[in-house]
C-alpha cells in the first residue's frame, strides 16, 4: 500500500490546514522511525510496521499538481489504484472528523482533481476534516491559514487517528 499524503512544500505552508496530509506523513515517519528519500519530485519513505510494509509519499509538486507524483509512483511500483490511498484535507468536513471512501469525486479539492485527472477516480482516499471558515474568509486563504489555538491543542490526537 502506498499512502500519498497531500500538501504544499515550503516552510510557509508547514502548519497550514491544507498540509494536514503532510502532517500525517510526518507523524507516521516519526512513529515508525523511518526517514524520507527523494524520487519523482517527492519525498517518500518505507515503513515497516512489523506486520506490513507501506510507503508514504509527500509530493513536492504543490497541491494542484499532486497527480503527477501519484502517477509516477503508481507506474514505478506497478501498482493498481486500489493499492494506494490519498490523504487530503477537506473543508466540507468538520475539524477532527475523517471520511474514508474507496472511490469518488474530487469534491472541489484541487489536489484530488489532479490525481483523478492522472489515474481516474477509482482509488481509496481519506479526507481529513479541517472545518470551514466561520466568517467571509475566501476559501483559498482559509485552507492556507494556520490552525487556531483550540485546533492546535487537539491536532496531534487527530493526526494520530
Q: Which residues are catalytic?
A: 18
Pairing of strands 42-48, 53-59: antiparallel
Both ends of the chain: CA-CA distance in Å?
A: 18
| Distance (Å, whole) CA 89 – CA 133 | 14
Residues 64, 48: Cα–Cα separation, whole Å:
30
Q: Give the total residue count for the chain.
A: 161
Cα separations in angstroms, 2 against 27, 52, 101, 151: 16, 12, 16, 28
Assess contact for 84 and 56: CB atoms under 8 A: no
Amino acid at each position: 500500500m502506498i499512502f500519498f499524503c497531500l500538501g504544499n512544500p515550503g516552510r510557509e505552508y508547514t502548519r497550514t490546514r491544507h498540509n494536514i496530509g503532510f502532517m500525517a506523513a510526518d507523524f507516521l515517519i516519526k512513529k515508525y522511525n523511518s526517514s524520507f528519500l527523494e524520487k519523482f519530485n517527492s519525498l517518500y519513505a518505507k515503513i515497516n510496521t512489523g506486520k506490513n510494509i507501506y510507503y508514504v509519499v509527500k509530493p513536492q509538486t504543490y497541491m494542484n499538481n499532486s497527480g503527477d507524483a501519484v502517477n509516477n509512483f503508481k507506474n514505478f511500483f506497478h501498482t493498481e489504484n486500489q493499492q494506494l490511498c490519498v490523504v487530503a484535507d477537506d473543508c466540507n468536513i468538520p475539524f477532527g472528523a475523517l471520511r474514508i471512501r474507496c472511490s469518488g469525486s474530487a469534491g472541489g479539492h484541487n489536489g484530488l482533481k489532479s490525481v483523478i485527472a492522472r489515474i481516474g477516480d477509482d482509488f481509496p482516499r481519506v479526507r481529513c476534516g479541517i472545518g470551514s471558515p466561520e466568517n467571509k474568509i475566501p476559501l483559498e486563504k482559509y485552507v492556507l491559514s494556520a490552525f487556531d489555538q483550540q485546533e492546535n491543542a487537539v491536532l496531534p490526537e487527530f493526526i494520530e487517528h
